[in-house]
Amino acid sequence: MDGTREIDDEQAKRWNGPAAQAWIDAQVVLDRLFKPLEILLVNAVSERAPRTVLDVGSGAGGTTLAVARLLGTAGSCTGIDVSEPMVAAARARAAQERTPASFICANAQAHAFEPASYDMMISRFGVMFFNDPVAAFTNLQRATKYDGELRFIVWRSAEDNPFMTTAERAAAPLLPNLPPRRADAPGQFAFADAGRVHAVLHESGWTDIELHPIDAPCTLPESELVRYVSRLGPVGLALQEADDDTRRRVIDTVLPAFEPFVHGPDVRFMAACWMMSARAGAAQRTEERGDPGKPWLAE
C-alpha cells in the first residue's frame, strides 16, 4: 500500500471511529467553545450574500446549520465530511430544528462535485486533513463558480496555541507512544506555515489569496475539562485504549498543567488561527513588476 492510501485510510478510520463519537458527544460544548470562529464565518457569508455555500469538513454540522439559518430561503448551505457518524448527527440536528441544510458523506478531495456549483466555500478547522492539499483545493476550486469566494479558518502553529498541546506535553512521560506531530502531515497544524498555505492555494488555481492572523477568545466550562482531556485530541484517543490505572494517572498529571487557563468556573484561551480568503477564476495578477513581497499576508 502506498503512503497516500495509508494516510487516506488513517483519516477515514480516525473520523469514523472513537474520535468521531467523542466529538458528537461533546458537540454542544465544542460548538460553544468555537462560537467566536463560527461567527466570523457567518459574518463573511452575510457580507458576500451567496446563494449556494459549501462547508468543507463540516463535522457535526454546527457551522453549516448556522449559515443555513442565516440564508433561510434565499440560499442553501451544504456540509461535506468524511465521517459517517458525524454526518448522521448533523442530519439529525438539521431535521430536529427543521433547518434546510444538506450533508454529503465523502472526501472533499476526490468527491465528484458538479462543476461551478457553489458561490462560496467555507470551513472551520476542516481542511487540514487532506493527504494531497493541492488536489483537494483544485477539486474545490472547480466546484466554485467564477469569482466565487473561499473563506477558511485554520490553526496557526502549535507554538502559537499552547493550550492545544498542553495535554500531550504533560502526558508524554506516561504515554510514550503518543504519535509525534509532523508539520507536513495531515493534522491540526498542517496549515500553520502561511507560505505553504499560499503556495497550495496558488498551485490549486485560486487567486486574490490573503491570510489574516486572528486570535479568538474561547471559553470551556471548567467542569468539562476532564472530558475534554480524556476524550479529545491525541491524549484522548490514547486513553480510550488505556487501562484504568493509566487513565487515572494521566488525568491526575494533566489537569494541573491547565491551571494557567482556569479562571474560576471557566477555562479560557486564545485560538491563534489564519483566516484564509481567495477567489476562483479571477484574473491572474501580473508578476512583471517584480517581487511584491507578501501582499497576501496581512498584518
**pLDDT (0 to 100) of residue 134:** 97
Q: Which long-range contacts (CB under 8 A, 24 or more apart) does 100-106 make?
A: 100/68, 100/76, 101/61, 101/64, 101/65, 101/67, 101/68, 101/76, 101/77, 102/76, 102/77, 102/78, 103/58, 103/61, 103/64, 103/78, 103/79, 104/78, 104/79, 104/80, 105/80, 105/81, 106/80, 106/82
For the chain, what's the residue count?
A: 299
Which residue is associated with the grid cell 486572528?
214
Residue 109 covered by a domain: yes
Residue 239 covered by a domain: no
Mean pLDDT over 246-267 rounds to: 96
Least confident interval from 32-46, 76-90, 229-243, 277-291: 277-291
Residue 286 covered by a domain: no
- Structurally, the chain folds into a number of domains equal to 1
Range of the domain at 88: 3-157+182-219+270-280
**22-26, 30-34, 287-291 — which one is most confidently predicted on average?**
30-34
**pLDDT (0 to 100) of residue 179:** 84
Q: How high is the mean pLDDT of the chain?
A: 90
**pLDDT (0 to 100) of residue 110:** 94
Residue 94 covered by a domain: yes
1 pLDDT higher than 80: no
Whether the Cβ atoms of residue 165 and residue 254 lie closer than 8 Å to each other: no
pTM for the whole thing? 0.90
**Residue-wise pLDDT tens digits, 189-224:** 999 999 999 999 999 999 999 999 999 999 999 999
Residue 246 covered by a domain: no
Distances (CA, A) of 58 to 22, 47, 123: 15, 21, 7
Residue 137 covered by a domain: yes
**pLDDT (0 to 100) of residue 109:** 95
Q: What is the CATH number of the domain that holds 43?
A: 3.40.50.150
183 pLDDT higher than 80: no
Beta-strand relationship, 52-56 and 118-124: parallel
Using a 10 angstrom Cβ sphere, with 0-12 exposed, 13-18 middle and 19 or more buried, the burial of residue 132 is middle
**pLDDT (0 to 100) of residue 157:** 95
Cα–Cα nearest to 251, from 174, 162, 161:
174
Residue 153 covered by a domain: yes
287 pLDDT higher than 60: no
Residue 254 covered by a domain: no
73 pLDDT higher than 90: yes
Phi, then psi, of 166 in degrees rounded to 5: -60, -45
152 pLDDT higher than 90: yes
